[in-house]
């Protein structure tokens, strides 16, 4: 038996750590990350989220320390989620200038003026029914919700937010928020749109953390069907046309193809959300000693970058920053 004539041997470039480093195509940086924070108006001490080991709901008084920790690690941004002490039918505390997110924005900016403070802009944490907007019967009324999103975005901007991030998958949400911000004089406040967000089982632990589980039905009439790929491009291009400044794809792990396609179809910076269920799975396996947590997490984050992500929202961000800073 004779061997083929191997003129091309890819292993030549894998021979040493130095060469591997020189031909590496993708890299991870602490600057790629955004860390989610859950601020609960109704508590005075942090409470760990059971399904998300290492993640807590924090009281307003802990925001300063939390943001300083993020900043000390070199992470450039946080995204805030608020759990109000009062909920109602329409989520009015979402646009209360003294609402929990507005207070958290002010606290975060006071503690770390250079931190990029992003506010998730939705209503599921503020409504009694847990849906992402105003109900009409059992349906979320798109256009009525847009009006409330406009008020919420302006209120966050007044509190000093750096970026608003509408996450409710309402049609026209980026355009509605853009015109409202502009009319109110906030022409320089960017929108990071959750442009491509699927109705996902991977949000389960988040809904424990943010107390936002719908009391009836599900979000399938506004979030996307996980089976759809073309529709993701349609949604992304709509947001580009509506004036969104950044796009997001969410969840991340089961949607790597979508991340790549949205990246190739658009020119905007793109974030991916490595969601709560993705985090919980890794944490559970790691706690059992079944996987090497650091290795698996870094590999996953690199995969998001390779797929086209410019920014990664992740509950692993603090650990990732520590690992990257150590190496
Ligand atoms: C609110 C919102 C959700 C997440 C981010 N913003 C939950 C949902 O749509 O039910 C999920 C984040 C995560 O799972 O980590 N619209
Ligand atoms: Zn929502």
pLDDT band at 317 (very low <50, low <70, confident <90, very high): very high
Q: What is the pLDDT of residues 243-293, one digit of tens each?
A: 999 999 999 999 999 999 999 999 999 999 999 999 999 999 999 999 999
Answer whether 168 contacts ligand 1 (Cβ < 6 A): yes
**Which residue's alpha carbon is at the smallest distance from atom 14 of ligand 1?**
203
Of 227, 242, 148, the closest CA to residue 191 belongs to 242
120 Cα: distance to centroid of ligand 2 (angstroms): 9
pLDDT band at 210 (very low <50, low <70, confident <90, very high): confident
Question: Quick one: what percent of the chain has pLDDT higher than 90?
Answer: 96
Answer whether 124 contacts ligand 1 (Cβ < 6 A): yes
State yes or no: pLDDT of 209 exceeds 90.
Answer: no
- Please say whether the structural domain 27-326 has been given the CATH code 3.20.20.70: yes
CA distances, 63 to each of 8, 76, 126 (Å): 56, 15, 20
Q: What is the pLDDT of residues 31-86, one digit of tens each?
A: 999 999 999 999 999 999 999 999 999 999 999 999 999 999 999 999 999 999 99
**Which residue's alpha carbon is at the smallest distance from atom 6 of ligand 1?**
167
Q: Which residues are catalytic?
A: 197, 250
Of 318, 314, 322, 303, the closest CA to residue 27 belongs to 303
Using an 8 Å Cβ cutoff, are 79 and 133 in contact?
Answer: no
Q: What is the reported pTM?
A: 0.97
Domain range summary for the chain, segments of one domain joined by +: 27-326
């Amino acid at each position: 038996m004779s061997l083929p004539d191997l003129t091309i041997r890819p292993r030549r470039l894998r021979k040493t750590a130095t060469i591997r480093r020189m031909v590496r195509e993708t890299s991870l940086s602490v600057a790629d990350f955004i860390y989610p924070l859950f601020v609960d108006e109704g508590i005075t001490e942090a409470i760990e989220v059971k399904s998300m080991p290492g993640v807590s709901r924090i009281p307003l008084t802990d925001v300063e320390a939390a943001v300083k920790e993020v900043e000390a690690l070199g992470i450039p941004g946080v995204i805030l989620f608020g759990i109000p002490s009062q909920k109602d039918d329409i989520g009015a505390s979402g646009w209360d200038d003294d609402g929990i997110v507005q207070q958290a924005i002010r606290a975060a900016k006071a503690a770390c003026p250079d931190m990029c403070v992003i506010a998730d802009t939705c209503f599921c944490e503020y409504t009694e029914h847990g849906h992402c907007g105003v109900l009409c019967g059992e349906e979320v009324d798109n256009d009525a919700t847009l009006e409330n999103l406009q008020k919420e975005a302006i209120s966050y901007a007044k509190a000093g937010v750096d970026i608003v991030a509408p996450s409710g998958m309402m049609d026209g949400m980026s355009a509605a928020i853009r015109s409202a911000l502009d009319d109110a004089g906030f022409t320089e406040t960017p929108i990071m749109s959750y442009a491509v967000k699927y109705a996902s089982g991977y949000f389960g632990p988040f809904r424990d953390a943010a107390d936002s589980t719908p009391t009836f039905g599900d979000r399938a009439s506004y979030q996307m069907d996980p089976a759809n790929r073309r529709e993701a491009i349609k949604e992304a291009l709509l947001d580009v046309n509506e004036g969104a400044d950044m796009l997001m794809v969410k969840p991340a792990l089961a949607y790597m193809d979508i991340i790549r396609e949205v990246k190739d179809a658009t020119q905007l910076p793109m974030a991916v959300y490595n969601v709560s269920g993705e985090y919980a799975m890794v944490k559970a396996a790691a706690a059992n000693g079944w996987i090497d947590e650091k290795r698996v997490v870094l590999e996953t984050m690199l995969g998001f970058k390779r797929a086209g992500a410019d920014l990664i929202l992740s509950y692993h961000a603090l650990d990732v920053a520590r690992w990257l800073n150590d190496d």
